[in-house]
Amino acid sequence: MTDQNTTSTESAPEKRISLLTVLGPAHVWALGVGIVLVGEYMGYNFSIGKGGALGSLISCWFIGLLYTCVAMVDSEVSATVASAGGQYSQAKHIVGPLMAFNVGLYLVFAYTMLEAADALVVGDLMVEAAHDFGFAGLDPKPFVVFTIAILAWLNYRGVFMTLTVNFIITAVAFVAIFVLFFAAQGWTPGVALHHKELLTKLPYGWLGVVAAFQFAIWYYLGIEGTCQAAEEVRSVSRALPLGTITGMMTLLIAATVTWYCTTGLVPWEYLGVSIIPQYDAARAFGNPIVKFVMFIGTLFSSLASANGTISDAARAWFAMARDRYLPVWFGAVHPKYRTPYRSIVFLIPVAISFGFTGLLDQVITFSILSGLLGYTFMSINMFKFRRQWPLGTIRRGYVHPFHPFPAITLFLLCCVTYFATYLGYGMELLALMTFYIAASVWFHFHRYKYVKRGDQFTMAWPRPQGY
């Protein structure tokens, strides 16, 4: 009898701990906008240095079109492939293992580099604020470590609490943008905003406008991160499209208002090299209350972005490990908090090491290029998805309109942005492409043998057309 009981116990399937399904549209909005809104407080201004103030605005709107296409395309596929990993899971189901591995790496590096940039800005902001109060000589590195560590702990403890905090601090940072606008009476040119005196034409011509495309991505980079929470959303077909598209609308408004206020207060030559442009604009404005609000806005937007990127990068790494694309050790879920805790902890030193470099434009460039590779995949993926499973053959959570124009527009704008990056950061572009090629070779010859292809496909879809 004892032997029989023992055998029965051993043969029982192990209970799999899953992620909690607790998120709604507001959390999806908070994840997407929270990651991106820091781009309205720093980084975007490097596009001003590339193309001048007007060149930056033109590139801002063109890149806004790129991300509108990203939001439309991604909402359809993510609402249908509702799984942790976002674009990685899409590639796994629609294209194949090698593409999925690369897309997973794009996501992890784009978000981890963005996290490092956020922490770097927090450190510089604290040093500058302390200097304004007479405390000179502070080292920003302890602030970098503390920022990443405390936000990683918050993510470790649970996704619902993490994104609820993100919703609050993102909303505060968004309102802060408009505090500067109203304080400067943005509707009345010449009172505080002096565009007539500060704006020039295109100092570097139309080539400068094209070059500005690279950093104009920073206005919106990360909105596609909403898909990473697909497995933890209560109603995927409603929450993902609603949260992503409303988030994109929020960012378009915030980006335009940000450009309008800062270029009317600070000469573009200085604004184009500033680490904390919104805070510097508040300094130029001279009102101590507005300056404090911009300090809070910059701080909260950086924290919200780092908080969201930790969540997204860890889930992409976790999803790859769960499918054996990486060691399965990283695919563990915390038994109490139901979070991918090992992936969260593992990526902490990676982010800190890049944050310690202090090279904000370089870190931003690596994040942008990784994101750009992911967007290029999305455009190709959309065509394959519609061709292999035409409308009516599977249940879609959302169907985006105007296909194939968003996918074509997305691909063309990505090509222009690669050229823009090559103009200023050709070596970084070459180095990152070399890294991804080497990683692909490693996966093909070493890691692929551990992958169980049959376990990856979780969608009950019919055989794709053409196969």
Q: Decide if 363 is inside a domain.
A: yes
pLDDT, position 239: 73
Q: Decide if 1 is inside a domain.
A: no
pLDDT, position 380: 92
Residue 304 has, within 13 A of its CA and on its CB side, a CA count of: 35
pLDDT at 14 over 50: no
pLDDT digits (tens, 9 = 90+) for 71-93: 888 888 887 876 656 788 888 88
Pick from 196, 179, 301, 180: nearest CA to 251: 301
pLDDT, position 47: 95
Residue 387 or residue 18, greater confidence: 387
pLDDT, position 84: 59
Any idea which residue has 């109490």 for tokens?
A: 336
- Please compute the mean of the pLDDT values over residues 196-217 and round it to a whole number: 93
Is residue 376 classed as helix, strand or coil in its secondary structure?
A: helix
pLDDT, position 21: 67
Structure tokens at 139: 């080292």
Confidence of residue 6 (pLDDT cuts 50, 70, 90): very low
Q: Give the span between the Cα atoms of 12 and 247, in whole angstroms.
A: 45
Q: Decide if 455 is inside a domain.
A: no
pLDDT digits (tens, 9 = 90+) for 130-167: 988 888 888 999 999 999 999 999 889 887 777 778 88
Structure tokens at 365: 């460039």
Q: 10 Å Cβ neighbour count for 350?
A: 17
Q: Cα separations (Å) of 47 from 51, 361, 447, 448? A: 6, 11, 39, 40
Residue 297 or residue 454, greater confidence: 297
Q: Decide if 467 is inside a domain.
A: no
- Please compute the mean of the pLDDT values over residues 289-299 and round it to a whole number: 95
Any idea what the CATH number is for the domain that residue 198 is in? 1.20.1740.10
Which range of 2-11, 430-439, 452-461 scores highest in mean pLDDT? It is 430-439
Per the structure, the count of domains in the chain is 1
Q: Decide if 250 is inside a domain.
A: yes
pLDDT digits (tens, 9 = 90+) for 344-381: 999 999 999 999 988 889 999 999 999 999 999 999 99
pLDDT, position 9: 37
Is residue 35 classed as helix, strand or coil in its secondary structure?
A: helix
Q: Decide if 381 is inside a domain.
A: yes
Pick from 260, 293, 230, 226: nearest CA to 44: 260
Q: Give the span between the Cα atoms of 442 and 444, in whole angstroms.
A: 6
Confidence of residue 226 (pLDDT cuts 50, 70, 90): confident
pLDDT, position 7: 40
- Please compute the mean of the pLDDT values over residues 234-248 and round it to a whole number: 77
Structure tokens at 267: 């000469």
Lowest mean pLDDT among 19-28, 79-88, 136-145, 183-192: 19-28
pLDDT, position 194: 93
Q: Decide if 426 is inside a domain.
A: yes
- Please compute the mean of the pLDDT values over residues 313-317 and round it to a whole number: 89
- Please compute the mean of the pLDDT values over residues 105-124 and round it to a whole number: 93
pLDDT, position 10: 38
Confidence of residue 20 (pLDDT cuts 50, 70, 90): low
Confidence of residue 279 (pLDDT cuts 50, 70, 90): very high
pLDDT, position 19: 59
- Please compute the mean of the pLDDT values over residues 291-317 and round it to a whole number: 91
Confidence of residue 13 (pLDDT cuts 50, 70, 90): very low
Pick from 199, 200, 195, 193: nearest CA to 285: 193
Q: Give the span between the Cα atoms of 129 and 124, in whole angstroms.
A: 9
pLDDT, position 136: 80
Residue 370 or residue 10, greater confidence: 370
The whole domain housing 58 covers 21-392+402-448
Q: Decide if 466 is inside a domain.
A: no
Structure tokens at 335: 């038994």
Q: Which residues of 274-307 are buried (b: 16+ CB within 10 A; e: fewer)?
A: bbbbbbbbbbebebeebbebbbebbbbbbbbbbb
- State in Å, rounded, how far the first CA of the chain is from the last one: 51
pLDDT at 290 over 70: yes
